[in-house]
Amino acid sequence: MPTEMQMKAALQAYLDGLNARDADAVLALFAADAEIEDPVGSPVKRGAEIKAWFRGAVRVEPRLELCAPIRGSHSDAAVMTFTVESVRGGARYRTHSTDVARFNEEGQIIRLEGYWGPSDRRELPLSESMPPNCDSQEGTP
């Protein structure tokens, strides 16, 4: 089983890789048989779908900011809560998400689930940027 520190480091590297727009660095964190369900309820991505998904993700100018420290577990999972800003089709979006990752013995991600719903994403004016922290209650009913 991977250590808590290995899992936390992998999720930090995931965040850092996306912020650097480095799809290869992010893909290196995943096992060959990994699955991604992001958002939960959408079709599960595997293999070439994951590669295409991350190659597309880095093209939308992602900027991720942790909202809390990455959390480990007493098992093979870790979680991070963050805000991501992206630009798609000339519009800027902000999404509040929590990703839960499960790891194999080698510390590679074998499953990633992204928890966010329609109210957790909103369009922003192109000139607006992410606030300095994630304490916003937007998306809260």
Which tens digits make up the pLDDT trace of 26-48?
Answer: 999 999 999 999 999 999 999 99
Q: Is residue 135 part of a domain?
A: no
Q: Is residue 84 part of a domain?
A: yes
Q: Is residue 109 part of a domain?
A: yes
Distance of CA 100 to CAs 39, 40, 109, 122, Å? 11, 10, 10, 22
Q: Is residue 124 part of a domain?
A: no
115, β-bridge pairs? 98
Contact yes or no for 78/101 (Cβ under 8 A): yes
Q: Is residue 141 part of a domain?
A: no
Domain interval for residue 102 = 4-117
Amino acid identity of residue 40, one-letter, is: V
Chain-centroid distance of CA 89 in Å reads: 20
CA-based nearest residue to 96, from 67, 55, 72: 67
Instruction: Check which CATH number belongs to the domain holding 19 and give it.
Output: 3.10.450.50
Q: Is residue 122 part of a domain?
A: no
The confidence band for 58, taking pLDDT boundaries of 50, 70 and 90, is: very high
Element (H, E) at 84: strand 77-88
The confidence band for 134, taking pLDDT boundaries of 50, 70 and 90, is: low
Structural domains of the chain, count: 1
Q: Is residue 107 part of a domain?
A: yes
Q: Is residue 99 part of a domain?
A: yes
What average pLDDT does the chain have?
Answer: 91
